[in-house]
């Protein structure tokens, strides 16, 4: 009987060998994967054990922490509720994070390499000093004015967005999306309640979770004439160059009308007048004359078709993703230029689509002498002890037009606000320029109202560039309300500025 | 029973190893307190000292009733038992801290209960050592034990689920707050019965055969008992919804059969029958569900525990398996240190998943040491089987040791995802009286047999060694001629 007993012993050895080998697989080979698994509650507990850095602006906390009695020690709190939500975002326990909370996660959580010394220090002192703090570029006055004016607009519009940029640096002064959402229920430590709150927002037909300023692309309407004008001025045209106009323009099956009969019914009109009055026929003919390549290239020069733009931290070029604005193909099926489509595209219709961020960037570029600054939201990164670790260093993103072209275009846009369709954007003590846009979209739907513009202070410094977009504005003159709001945002941005 | 002068008993080595084991347990308890409270209370050593007292008590029983018993068995088991109590106390302390209650006393909570169970188990083991002075006496009650064993196995299956089901496995008898797992005791009774049955039948089972494909296969009529046990274990699988228990009983029988007959064909038949049965049950579970559903669920969880569908299923899902794996993975090579992990995140961490909970804190190295301890116990049991001179003793010791090893494999393999998870306790570690008492009885039996194996030929009442001196008639095994083995 001893031989089979010995073999039984060998079997036990083999079984234990298998256990040992499998333990190596689980505890050594797969250890890292398991340690960081989404299902591993320890990961979350450890993350919440250390106070997350504060997101702040002008000494006001936009994302802070509250000590709790839960297993998860710190609860994230957003004191400003929905106003800053499109920028700050939120960071829930088990869902994905968005906004600056997501883009700056490494720094806020303290896991960033730049905070390595703090972690080592913590290890020796036994303290948990927390993550780094992020200071945003926003102007609280501009942001809150934008939110207030947008949500209290005089046309009862419930969807829209506004973006304000400092043209000289690219610093975002305001970024608002309407309707917004309250991020606080989404970060509830009760993950079921958080998921329920998220599902409710997700099912809302008005899409409050959609960041309309960065992610929604809509036909820009006449604001696109700024691109046409830039193309014309860069190709030998001057402000007073007479261009063909008229009450209607038929081109390859497309028919272009003006918004009203009294707009440029004559045969010709100066370029400046055409922009001031927003002459559709003039710009449609101008676009066809300049050609598809010229218009499309100028649009690209201003940032159309850019699929990689993010607004956040200039150092690592990471932040809120911005959807690419598009000019569309403007082509027949064989690839040749569709002149009808070109005529329509030149006045921002057909397949042209633009984000509010892109609109604001265009105005900022003109105001800043042709230099487009890379937009950013993170002004400073502060360590847990509030020492400055990073301070934003503005960068030129593109230079689509020369200084003289920018100067002429600026004159033309100032004329729009002084004498033309953008009068509602005027603000006292500033020289304001801009361009309105009323964009037809679906058949039977009210048009979208746009305004892109900028303001110079009394020293001639461009203090703010802005884009306001209102979706489906009822009752005509869709852009007038956008212009009025834009003026108020720029006033707030300039007043509360540096 | 008198000791033979000049023959080494190694009892002092056992005592020394016991003290060493309890020092390890005390160090573990101190580390837990350091990690949980940031300080070590002056009372940290009390549970270890209490345990040492209990184990030394059993040591003295061994010293006087089984002086030649294997000196490694008792300390190795004591170490695992002591670490189990300490880990349970660590969980009690963590729960008290979390609920802001005062630190539980030594006899409070799950660990206090486990301490009491340890006392009860050690008393049972001592009683067995005191009453059963010769392991062959057990053979007299073989049929009674066989019947008791089958009743114990079948009882939870026939009881209504409300009295017998815990976490989908019908392995329990619940009486109010008190519940026992009769299957734990059944394996002791069944091993004794199998051993006796096989000693009587081994000639016919090993000699009468037909040769097929170069392997000797038994005659059809001799297959009866194997088929009976196979059916019994499959019934267990289906009605108690537990693969592990089925595997345990069947493995136990096949191994004793193989050891008794020395014929590999029994192993082949046994393995084919078992895996055939398991696979059929899996297919039936996939096709018709019903009583096979639970087994099918367990198998699909095992195949892909991280699948969302498996993980999110409220009943019969892979949540606990995944949490166990994550705990083990988080522990990594060295572990977080006793008291520094989060075993509270693992469901059933006091019972089925205690190995995963400890694994987070003692790491791969700690668990490997624990595995070696188990291996040591099993191999020492098998060595007793090798050295004992009567076939009944060989089969009992071999069967018990192998079953213990198999049980460790089944539960640890289940937790680490090596085989489908089944509701087995981890011997000597898991909270629970049935498991602790039954396994200490098993150890007492191994101690008794190892005493016979290591002692002088005429001590312990084992079969006489033929040799010089007056010839005695060989000691009779109840109702059967006892074979005499030449060492």
pLDDT of A321 strictly over 90:
yes
Q: Please state, in angstroms and rounded to a whole number, the distance separating the CA atoms of residues A248 and A334.
A: 28
Share of chain A above pLDDT 90, in %: 71
Residue A344 in tokens: 């329509």
**Binding-face residues of B in 50-89 toward A, CB within 8 A:** none
Residue among B282, B424, B419 nearest B353 (CA): B424
Residue among B191, B190, B200, B199 nearest B148 (CA): B190
The pLDDT score that the predictor gives to residue B168 is 63
Between A111 and B57, name the one with better pLDDT.
B57
Q: Do A16 and B374 touch (CB under 8 A)?
A: yes
Residues of A in contact with B402 (CB under 8 A): 8, 11-12
Q: Please state, in angstroms and rounded to a whole number, the distance separating the CA atoms of residues A486 and A359.
A: 12
Chain B closest-CA separation from residue A42 CA (Å): 7
Mean pLDDT of A60-88: 90
Q: Please state, in angstroms and rounded to a whole number, the distance separating the CA atoms of residues B30 and B26.
A: 6
- Span of A80-94, A471-485, B196-210 with lowest mean pLDDT: B196-210
The pLDDT score that the predictor gives to residue B214 is 64
Indicate which residues of A carry an active-site annotation. Answer: 222
Q: Please state, in angstroms and rounded to a whole number, the distance separating the CA atoms of residues B342 and B358.
A: 10
Residues of B in contact with A33 (CB under 8 A): 329
CB B90 within 8 A of CB B349: no
Q: Do B416 and A22 touch (CB under 8 A)?
A: yes
Chain B closest-CA separation from residue A191 CA (Å): 14
The pLDDT score that the predictor gives to residue A57 is 94
The region, left, alpha or beta by phi > 0 then psi within -120 to 50, assigned to residue B327 is alpha
Beta strands in B328-440 (DSSP E): none
Q: Do B322 and A35 touch (CB under 8 A)?
A: no
Beta strands in B387-482 (DSSP E): none
The pLDDT score that the predictor gives to residue B2 is 54
Give chain A's radius of gyration (CA, Å). 28
B398 part of contact set with chain A, CB < 8 Å: yes
Residue among A446, A471, A481, A437 nearest A216 (CA): A471
The pLDDT score that the predictor gives to residue A342 is 94
The pLDDT score that the predictor gives to residue A112 is 84
The pLDDT score that the predictor gives to residue A424 is 92
Q: Please state, in angstroms and rounded to a whole number, the distance separating the CA atoms of residues B2 and B337.
A: 47
Q: Please state, in angstroms and rounded to a whole number, the distance separating the CA atoms of residues A369 and A401.
A: 8
SS3 at position A321: strand
pLDDT per position as a tens digit, B117-166: 999 999 999 999 999 999 999 989 988 988 888 888 888 877 777 777 76
Q: Do B409 and A18 touch (CB under 8 A)?
A: yes
Q: Please state, in angstroms and rounded to a whole number, the distance separating the CA atoms of residues B404 and B377.
A: 9
B418 vs A13, A22, A42: nearest CB: A22
User: How many CB atoms lie under 10 A from the CB of residue B210?
Assistant: 11
CB A84 within 8 A of CB A62: yes
Q: Which residue of B has its CA nearest to A19?
A: B413
B329 vs A11, A34, A41: nearest CB: A34
B413 vs A12, A19, A41: nearest CB: A19
Q: Which residue of A has its CA nearest to B334?
A: A27
**Binding-face residues of B in 307-336 toward A, CB within 8 A:** 311, 322-323, 325-326, 328-333
pLDDT per position as a tens digit, A277-319: 999 999 999 999 999 999 999 999 999 999 999 999 998 878 9
Q: Which residue of B has its CA nearest to A15?
A: B409
- Span of A420-429, A438-447, B21-30, B108-117 with lowest mean pLDDT: A438-447
pLDDT band at A498 (very low <50, low <70, confident <90, very high): very low
Chain B closest-CA separation from residue A28 CA (Å): 6
pLDDT per position as a tens digit, A210-243: 999 999 999 999 999 999 999 999 999 999 999 9
Q: Do A16 and B375 touch (CB under 8 A)?
A: yes
B29 part of contact set with chain A, CB < 8 Å: no
Mean pLDDT of A16-20: 96
Q: Do B306 and A39 touch (CB under 8 A)?
A: yes
Please tell me which of A17-21, A267-271, A477-481, B185-189 the model is most confident about, judged by mean pLDDT. Answer: A17-21
Q: Please state, in angstroms and rounded to a whole number, the distance separating the CA atoms of residues B423 and B428.
A: 15
Q: Do A23 and B367 touch (CB under 8 A)?
A: yes
Q: Do B398 and A13 touch (CB under 8 A)?
A: no
The pLDDT score that the predictor gives to residue B467 is 41
Q: Do A23 and B416 touch (CB under 8 A)?
A: yes
The label of the residue with tokens 């660590």 reads B90
CB proximity list for B388: less than 8 A, separation 6 or greater:
B394, B397, B449, B450, B452, B453, B462
The pLDDT score that the predictor gives to residue B69 is 94
What residues of chain B score a pLDDT lower than 50? 1, 459-474, 476, 479, 481-487
User: How many CB atoms lie under 10 A from the CB of residue B293?
Assistant: 16
> What's the half-sphere exposure (Cβ side, CA atoms, 13 Å) at A432?
31
B391 vs A1, A31, A42: nearest CB: A1
Q: Which residue of A has its CA nearest to B341?
A: A42
ipTM score assigned to the predicted complex: 0.90
Q: Do A34 and B325 touch (CB under 8 A)?
A: yes
Q: Please state, in angstroms and rounded to a whole number, the distance separating the CA atoms of residues B245 and B155.
A: 14
Q: Please state, in angstroms and rounded to a whole number, the distance separating the CA atoms of residues B377 and A490.
A: 81
B405 vs A12, A22, A37: nearest CB: A12
Q: Please state, in angstroms and rounded to a whole number, the distance separating the CA atoms of residues A39 and A29.
A: 18
* Domain definitions of chain B by residue range: 11-131+304-454
pTM above 0.90? no
Q: Please state, in angstroms and rounded to a whole number, the distance separating the CA atoms of residues B208 and B17.
A: 48
B342 vs A24, A39, A42: nearest CB: A42
Chain B closest-CA separation from residue A72 CA (Å): 12
């Amino acid at each position: 009987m001893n031989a089979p007993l010995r073999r039984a012993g060998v079997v036990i050895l083999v079984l234990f060998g298998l256990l040992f080998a499998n333990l190596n697989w689980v505890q050594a080979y797969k250890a890292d994967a398991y340690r960081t698994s989404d299902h591993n509650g320890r990961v979350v507990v450890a993350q919440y054990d250390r106070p997350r850095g504060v997101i702040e602006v002008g000494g006001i906390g936009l994302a802070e922490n509250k000590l709790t009695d839960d297993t998860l020690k710190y609860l994230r709190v957003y004191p400003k509720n929905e106003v800053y939500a499109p920028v700050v975002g939120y960071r829930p326990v088990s869902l994905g994070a968005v906004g600056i909370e997501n883009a700056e996660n490494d720094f806020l959580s303290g896991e960033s390499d730049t905070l390595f010394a703090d972690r080592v220090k913590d290890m020796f002192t036994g303290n948990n000093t927390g993550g780094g703090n992020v200071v945003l570029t926003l102007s609280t006055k501009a942001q809150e004015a934008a939110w207030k004016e947008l949500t209290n607009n005089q046309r009862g519009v419930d969807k829209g967005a506004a973006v304000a940029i400092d043209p000289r640096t690219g610093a975002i002064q305001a970024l608002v999306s309407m309707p917004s959402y309250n991020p606080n229920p989404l970060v509830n430590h009760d993950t079921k309640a958080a998921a329920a709150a998220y599902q409710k927002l997700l099912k809302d037909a008005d899409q409050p979770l959609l960041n309309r300023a960065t992610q929604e692309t809509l036909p820009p309407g006449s604001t696109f004439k700024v691109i046409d004008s830039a193309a014309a001025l860069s190709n030998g045209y001057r402000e007073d160059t007479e261009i063909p106009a008229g009450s209607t323009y038929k081109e390859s099956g497309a028919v272009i009308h003006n918004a009203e009969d009294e707009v440029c019914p004559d045969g010709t009109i100066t370029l400046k007048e055409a922009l001031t009055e927003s002459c559709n026929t003039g710009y449609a003919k101008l676009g066809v004359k300049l050609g598809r390549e010229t218009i499309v290239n100028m649009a690209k020069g201003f940032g159309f078709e850019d699929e990689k733009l993010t607004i956040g931290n200039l150092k690592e070029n990471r932040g809120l993703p911005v959807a690419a604005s598009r000019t569309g193909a403007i082509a027949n099926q064989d690839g040749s230029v569709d002149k009808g489509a070109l005529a329509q595209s030149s006045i921002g219709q057909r397949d042209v689509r633009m984000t509010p961020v892109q609109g604001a960037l265009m105005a900022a570029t003109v105001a800043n002498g042709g230099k487009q600054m890379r937009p950013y939201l993170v002004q400073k990164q502060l360590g847990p002890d509030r020492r400055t670790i990073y301070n934003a260093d503005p960068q030129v993103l593109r230079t689509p037009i020369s200084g003289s072209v920018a100067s002429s275009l600026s004159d033309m846009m100032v004329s729009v606000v002084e004498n033309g369709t953008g009068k509602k954007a005027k603000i006292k003590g500033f020289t304001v320029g801009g361009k309105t846009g009323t964009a037809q979209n679906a058949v039977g739907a009210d048009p979208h109202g746009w305004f892109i513009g900028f303001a110079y202070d009394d020293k001639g410094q461009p203090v703010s560039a802005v884009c306001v977009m209102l979706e489906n504005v009822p009752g005509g003159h869709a852009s007038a309300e956008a212009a009025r709001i834009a003026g108020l945002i720029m006033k707030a941005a300039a007043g509360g500025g540096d | 029973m008198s000791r033979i002068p000049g023959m080494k008993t190694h009892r002092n080595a056992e005592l020394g190893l016991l003290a060493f084991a309890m020092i390890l347990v005390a160090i573990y308890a101190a580390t837990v307190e350091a990690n949980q409270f940031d300080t070590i209370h002056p009372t940290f050593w009390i549970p270890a000292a209490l345990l040492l007292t209990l184990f030394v008590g059993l040591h003295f029983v061994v010293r006087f009733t089984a002086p030649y018993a294997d000196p490694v068995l008792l300390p190795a088991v004591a170490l695992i038992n002591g670490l189990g109590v300490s880990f349970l106390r660590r969980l009690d302390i963590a729960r008290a801290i979390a609920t802001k209650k005062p630190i539980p006393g030594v006899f409070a909570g799950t660990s206090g209960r486990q301490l009491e169970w340890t006392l009860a188990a050690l008393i049972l083991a001592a009683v067995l050592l005191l009453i059963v002075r010769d392991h062959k006496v057990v053979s007299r009650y073989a049929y009674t034990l066989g019947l008791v064993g089958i009743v114990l196995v079948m009882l939870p299956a026939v009881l209504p689920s409300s009295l017998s089901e815990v976490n989908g496995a019908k392995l329990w008898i619940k009486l109010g707050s008190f519940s026992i797992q009769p299957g734990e005791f059944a394996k002791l009774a069944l091993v004794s019965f199998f051993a006796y049955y096989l000693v009587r039948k081994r000639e016919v089972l090993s000699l009468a055969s037909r040769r097929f494909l170069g392997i000797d296969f038994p005659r059809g009529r001799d297959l009866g008992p194997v088929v009976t046990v196979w059916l019994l274990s499959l019934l267990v699988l289906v009605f108690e919804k537990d693969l592990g228990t089925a595997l345990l009983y069947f493995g136990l029988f096949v191994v004793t059969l193989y050891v008794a007959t020395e014929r590999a064909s029994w192993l082949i038949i046994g393995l084919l029958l078992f895996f055939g049965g398991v696979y059929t049950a899996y297919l039936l579970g996939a096709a018709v569900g019903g009583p096979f559903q639970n087994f099918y669920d367990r198998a699909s969880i095992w195949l892909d525990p991280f699948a969302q569908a498996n993980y999110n299923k409220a009943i019969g899902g892979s949540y606990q398996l995944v949490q166990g794996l994550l705990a083990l993975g988080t522990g990594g090579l060295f572990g977080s240190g006793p008291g520094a992990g989060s075993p509270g995140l693992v469901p059933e961490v006091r019972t089925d998943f205690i190995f995963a909970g400890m694994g987070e804190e003692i790491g791969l190295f700690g668990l490997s040491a624990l595995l070696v301890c188990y291996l040591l116990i099993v191999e020492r049991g098998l060595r007793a089987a090798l050295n004992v001179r009567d076939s009944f003793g060989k089969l009992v010791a071999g069967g018990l040791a192998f079953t213990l090893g198999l049980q460790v494999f089944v539960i640890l393999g289940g937790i680490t995802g090596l085989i489908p998870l089944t509701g087995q306790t981890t011997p000597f570690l898991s909270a629970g009286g049935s498991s602790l008492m039954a396994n200490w009885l098993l150890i007492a039996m191994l101690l008794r047999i190892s005493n016979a194996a290591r002692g002088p030929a005429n001590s312990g009442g084992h079969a006489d060694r033929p040799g010089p001196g007056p010839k005695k008639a060989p000691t009779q095994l109840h109702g059967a001629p006892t074979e005499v083995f030449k060492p």
